[in-house]
Structure 1
Amino acid sequence: MIWSLYPTDEAWEPVARQAADHGGEVFTSLHLPEARDVASFLDVLGDLHRRFGLTFWADVSPVAVDLIGPQLREVGIVGLRYDFGFDVEDIHRMAHLTGLHTAVNASTIGVDTLEELADLEPVGWHNFYPRPGTGITRSWCLEQSRLFTEHELPVVAFVPGERGLRAPLYRGLATLEHQRHCNAWVNVVELHRMGMTVALAEGTLTEETLGWIDHLERDGVLTLPLADLEVPELAGVRHLRREETGSSWRIERTRGMSVPDAPNAGCRRAGSLQMDTVGRYRGEVHLMVHDDRLDGDFVRVGEIAGPYTDLVSQLAGGMQVDFVVRRPT
């Protein structure tokens, strides 16, 4: 996970502290109108680097060219992201001058340009889009990202923050337009499943969300927050069976569980946990992926909490999931 800290942000320390506790990698910008502004902000980055151990990837503009050199390492900058205003020759020259890693705009780059930069092994770094309606589609993101992943080059994309949205619009900074106002945990999981390194475009995340991200990145376990659960022993880490049924994922090692006297819903809704009541299948739990007709052979025993129901579209056979009952705050 990568954090983001900009010269115009209202507060730097909350981001710096959270980033320092979770890897210490931060995206920043040297897109400033005057060189003296760039120099002043480099002093800020140097202070954060020394105090928190942060390292930075910096978006650069031609205005900052005179200040780009080996000294950037001293303030913790490890890579530069080149966008408008730099041609292939400029990028090669700057990479040689600084000795820093190279990143390019994955949202807009063409295959010919990327081939000319192949010797630099650039990171593909997507844009975030402040104005609602301007973010890219999932299909375009995947198409552009394949230019990099086909050559085993990493790709980074942004999700909006949960707290401390950035000026001037305060509407969420997203790479994918459909994620702009969505739940942060759902957004992170989607990009993770798309093979992206996830960057937080602004502000910070709640401790709850951070814990789930750590669990996913460290252990490969996807947390599914539940609104309720009638079978307490189902809580915790479980494996989904590998077979895809189309309507649900069957949960391993649940067959034989006691069937509770639980009320049923009007249908077997996507995101609900349905327990089989028939014969040798009795006790086996299904996690519904799509709505299905009510069936007297099943009883509802739990449900993914409303803000997180879109997680069902990110599930896959064999995946480990962690059922956590989320209590109202």
Structure 2
Amino acid sequence: MLGFSAYLHSSLTKSDLTMFDKFVQAGFKGVFTSINLPEDDPQVLLTNLKALGQLCDENELGLTLDVSSSALKRLNLALPQDLQVFKDLHVTMLRIDDGISISEIAQLSQEVKIALNASTIVQSEIDELQDNKADFTNLEAWHNYYPRENTGLDAGWFAKKNQWLKENGFTVMAFIAGNENLRAPVYKGLPTLEENRYENPFVAALDMNALGVDRIYIGDPAITTTTFEQFRNYFVEDVLQISVHLNHAPAYITQLFHQRADVSRDVVRLREGRSLVSNEIKPLNSGVRKQGAITLDNVLSGRYQGELQLVKYQLPADNTVNVIGQIVDADLGLLKYCMANQAIQLVDIES
């Protein structure tokens, strides 16, 4: 499941509402917010949480609230005593930060979904939750995001931790960074994995999906229009949209294509390519085929004339193959997700 983040430091603006609607249209199903950030004014948090909760309820989105004992104290609230306050604000899950005991978490799990800290939970805490009759159907494991550069998690450690969590029956969640309007005060993205910090969020989401992460949330409050389109096309329409720069390409190059059912090692073969040829394709720009090159076989290739390919690994020049474009660097990671029969659309962007 996909989710996004909305923060409570100010009232929802028209721009925020537009962004919210874009996430909904792109297939996102959950919202994360927090009352833990020390820079936020506690006087406005509950008012803004009420507005956000109402919006989530109207759009049938789950709302997860990050809480801690210190944040609750600033609001003159306590858990589990004041749980109904948050239920009335349409909060559907509480992510427990610190200062709330295992016995209190177990009690809360009887009434509401609870997200535990995925990175720090250990076997003794699981045992204690069992001893306290926690409802494990309401418990999930959510990783943190890491605002400061170089502090994000190691991918190998992350994968091993998640394997252990899943062996213990947990649904696992992690954050990826946005790529627009990055969250203050550091402005370096809010990912769980350091390697995702400056990656295209769409590529990062597919990487998380491949790692078996169940819930993937964008930590920052926004992504670009192009990235929205990639999410919407893939998760709603099952179309892998790849941004490219084109050069001397036929007009049909931006139509919908499909990877062949038989997947090649070195290239993605677009099965419709040869059937679209109506005129002889002259040799042109037959240079080295870098990773991400878009190629079109010319007349010298005989019956392969019109073959369209996306190059997975650098290949030498071939005078029977024209290089007609290049996948943008940010989308090169999508080549590994061009699976058998995957629908693919190449979108030409300005250089």
TM-score (norm 1): 0.85
Among 54, 60, 68, which residue is 1:61 paired with? Answer: 68
**Closer, same or farther: CA 307–82 of 1 in aligned 2, 3 Å:** same
Q: Counterpart in 2 of 1:276?
A: 297
**Closer, same or farther: CA 236–180 of 1 in aligned 2, 3 Å:** same
**Closer, same or farther: CA 283–134 of 1 in aligned 2, 3 Å:** same
How far did residue 86 of structure 1 move?
3.8
Q: CA RMSD in A?
A: 3.0
**Closer, same or farther: CA 284–51 of 1 in aligned 2, 3 Å:** closer
2:116 maps to amino acid: V
Among 136, 140, 150, which residue is 2:157 paired with? Answer: 140
SS in structure 2 at match of 1:283: coil
Q: Counterpart in 1 of 2:236?
A: 218
- Unaligned segments of structure 2, at least 5 residues: none
Does residue 47 of structure 1 match 2:51? yes
Does residue 72 of structure 1 match 2:63? no
How far did residue 184 of structure 1 move?
3.0
How far did residue 305 of structure 1 move?
2.3
2:265 maps to amino acid: G
Q: Counterpart in 2 of 1:28?
A: 33
Cα distance in 2, alignment partners of residues 51 and 93 from structure 1: 28
| Contact 2:181–2:223 (Cα < 8 Å) also in 1 | no
**Closer, same or farther: CA 113–289 of 1 in aligned 2, 3 Å:** farther
Q: Counterpart in 1 of 2:178?
A: 161
1:202 maps to amino acid: D
| Contact 2:109–2:139 (Cα < 8 Å) also in 1 | no
Residues 14-65 of structure 1: per-residue CA shift (max 9 Å, x gap): 445422441563211122669x965741222112333563652011112326
Q: Counterpart in 1 of 2:323?
A: 300
| Contact 1:227–1:306 (Cα < 8 Å) also in 2 | no
Q: Counterpart in 2 of 1:204?
A: 222
Task: Spell out the pairing of 1:188-267 with structure 2 (5 A cutoff).
Answer: 188-196=205-213, 197-228=215-246, 230-258=249-277, 260-261=281-282, 263-264=284-285, 266-267=287-288
Cα distance in 1, alignment partners of residues 270 and 8 from structure 2: 48
Cα distance in 2, alignment partners of residues 256 and 32 from structure 1: 57
SS in structure 2 at match of 1:158: strand
1:311 maps to amino acid: L
- Unaligned segments of structure 1, at least 5 residues: none
SS in structure 2 at match of 1:66: coil
Task: Spell out the pairing of 1:110-125 with structure 2 (5 A cutoff).
Answer: 110=122, 113-114=125-126, 116=130, 119-125=136-142
| Contact 1:236–1:324 (Cα < 8 Å) also in 2 | no
How far did residue 270 of structure 1 move?
0.9
Q: Counterpart in 1 of 2:187?
A: 170
Number of aligned residue pairs: give it: 324
How far did residue 4 of structure 1 move?
1.3
Cα distance in 2, alignment partners of residues 137 and 260 from structure 1: 48
Does residue 92 of structure 1 match 2:106? yes
Residues 97-130 of structure 1: per-residue CA shift (max 9 Å, x gap): xx22121222333356457467234233221101
| Contact 2:257–2:345 (Cα < 8 Å) also in 1 | yes
1:108 maps to amino acid: T
**Closer, same or farther: CA 307–24 of 1 in aligned 2, 3 Å:** closer
Cα distance in 1, alignment partners of residues 165 and 250 from structure 2: 45
| Contact 1:250–1:287 (Cα < 8 Å) also in 2 | yes
2:94 maps to amino acid: L
2:20 maps to amino acid: A
| Contact 2:241–2:344 (Cα < 8 Å) also in 1 | yes
**Closer, same or farther: CA 211–283 of 1 in aligned 2, 3 Å:** same
Residues 141-166 of structure 1: per-residue CA shift (max 9 Å, x gap): 32223344457754322122222222
Among 294, 307, 311, which residue is 2:334 paired with? Answer: 311
SS in structure 2 at match of 1:178: helix
TM-score (norm 2): 0.80
How far did residue 66 of structure 1 move?
0.9
| Contact 1:104–1:123 (Cα < 8 Å) also in 2 | yes
| Contact 1:190–1:314 (Cα < 8 Å) also in 2 | no
- Farther off after superposition, 168-177 or 82-91: 82-91
Cα distance in 2, alignment partners of residues 159 and 119 from structure 1: 26
How far did residue 11 of structure 1 move?
6.6
Among 72, 83, 97, which residue is 1:83 paired with? Answer: 97
Aligned identity (percent) is 25
